[in-house]
């Protein structure tokens, strides 16, 4: 698929920007240490400062899958336990030319699904019991196509590594701010004051880098969701299946009283964002219910989506989200569906609407 080059370029650009910001931040921190801190103390190990972030990133990459397993309480399926799910995943995995992932079920009544792992050969596709219970087979198939898109695009590995960078910057900020506070309390001598000032500068820079790099990672996360939505439409041949699935998932998640799992960034839809979206739509229900029958039909929902998509507040708010708004995802799939129905849709246009 020629369109995959566009995704690789977008991913590569996002990774480069985030890594460049972090590398520049690390270089600046080292410069401050060498100019201010090093002449005043011999206790600061520069090599350790460089090594610790790298070790932390590798550590998160290594233990990430174990954390997801423990936090979601998933159970791996035995061969033959769910023949339809196994055959459907196998069919779409073969079409996608990716290894068959391990299948797992999460004992949770909310409709959701996610993939995780270190490589395509060790990936796990997990579905919530609520997904299998509340969605029909076509809708579940659309969700599976989306999750296989993540495997094909290697999103799980890329996002696990990238998300460690803002976290490292945040930990440096908290650590240096605490160290500056302790340094200020312990002594007010000239040398100690210089170290305190240097630590405060590093802390402020760290918070700025954390904020910027976090926005960059979130943007990349939203982009990968759009690409996987488009891929699902391609591999299943039915954009409508995922459109319907996303609507049901968002509504179902909005009704859940349970707090979201720590793995929410991996999900096909973020429970916190789903609650907010449904709440905002319902607040404006009278504005969108044109025939005043108390129910928003498909045409009225489409109108609501178009208006919501033009909102500047919505646009700014999405900068701080790991997932695009559901209405934008459905609109993208609707565009793909219209192109498929026109007969102009070809393999090289898989990501044309992203």
Nearest-angstrom CA–CA distance, 108 and 38: 53
User: Which residue in this structure is represented by tokens 């609407």?
Assistant: 353
Nearest-angstrom CA–CA distance, 140 and 111: 10
Neighbour count for residue 6 (Cβ, 10 Å): 15
The tokens for 225 are 């969701």
Pair 231, 350: CB distance under 8 Å: yes
Give phi and psi for 183, each to the nearest 5: -65, -40
Active site residue 129: no
Nearest-angstrom CA–CA distance, 96 and 147: 11
User: Which is it for strands 75-76 and 102-106: parallel, antiparallel or unpaired?
Assistant: antiparallel
Nearest-angstrom CA–CA distance, 80 and 89: 13
Nearest-angstrom CA–CA distance, 181 and 189: 14
Tell which residue, 309, 322, 329, has the closest CA to residue 244.
329
Asked whether the CA dihedral 67, 73, 76, 82 is positive or negative, the reply is: negative
Helices (H), 33-163: 46-72, 83-96, 129-134, 137-153, 155-162
Considering the candidates 139, 147, 277, 308, report the single residue annotated as catalytic.
Answer: 147
Pair 253, 131: CB distance under 8 Å: no
User: Which residue in this structure is represented by tokens 């849709």?
Assistant: 345
Give phi and psi for 100, each to the nearest 5: -65, 120
* Catalytic center residues: 147
């Amino acid at each position: 698929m020629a369109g995959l080059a566009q995704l690789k370029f977008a991913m590569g650009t996002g990774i480069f920007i985030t890594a460049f910001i972090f590398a520049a931040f690390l270089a600046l921190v080292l410069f401050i240490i060498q100019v201010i801190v090093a002449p005043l103390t011999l206790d600061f190990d520069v090599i350790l400062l460089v090594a610790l972030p790298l070790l932390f990133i590798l550590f998160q990459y290594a233990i990430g899958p174990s954390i997801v397993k423990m936090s979601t309480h998933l159970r791996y399926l035995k061969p033959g336990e769910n023949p339809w799910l196994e055959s459907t995943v196998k069919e779409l995995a073969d079409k996608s030319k990716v290894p068959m992932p391990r299948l797992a079920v999460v004992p949770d009544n909310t409709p959701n699904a996610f993939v995780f792992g270190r490589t395509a050969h060790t990936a796990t596709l997990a579905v919530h019991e609520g997904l299998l219970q509340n969605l029909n087979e076509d809708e579940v198939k659309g969700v599976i196509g989306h999750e296989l898109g993540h495997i094909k695009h290697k999103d799980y590995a890329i996002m696990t590594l990238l998300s460690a960078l803002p976290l490292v910057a945040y930990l440096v900020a908290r650590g240096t701010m605490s160290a500056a506070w302790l340094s200020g309390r312990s002594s007010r001598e000239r040398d100690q004051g210089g170290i305190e000032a240097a630590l405060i500068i590093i802390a402020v820079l760290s918070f700025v880098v954390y904020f910027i790099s976090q926005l960059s990672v979130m943007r990349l996360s939203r982009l990968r969701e759009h690409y996987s939505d488009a891929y699902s439409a391609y591999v299943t041949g039915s954009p409508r299946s995922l459109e319907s699935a996303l609507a049901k998932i968002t509504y179902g998640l909005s009704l859940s009283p349970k707090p979201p799992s720590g793995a929410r960034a991996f999900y096909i839809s973020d429970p916190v964002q789903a609650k907010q979206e449904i709440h905002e739509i319902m607040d404006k229900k009278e504005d969108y219910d044109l025939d005043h029958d108390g129910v928003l039909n498909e045409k009225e929902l489409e109108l609501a989506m178009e208006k919501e998509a033009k909102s500047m507040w919505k646009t700014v708010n999405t900068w701080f989200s790991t997932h695009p708004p559901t209405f934008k995802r459905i609109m993208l799939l609707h565009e793909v569906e219209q192109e498929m129905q026109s007969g102009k849709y070809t393999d090289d246009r898989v990501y044309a609407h992203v």
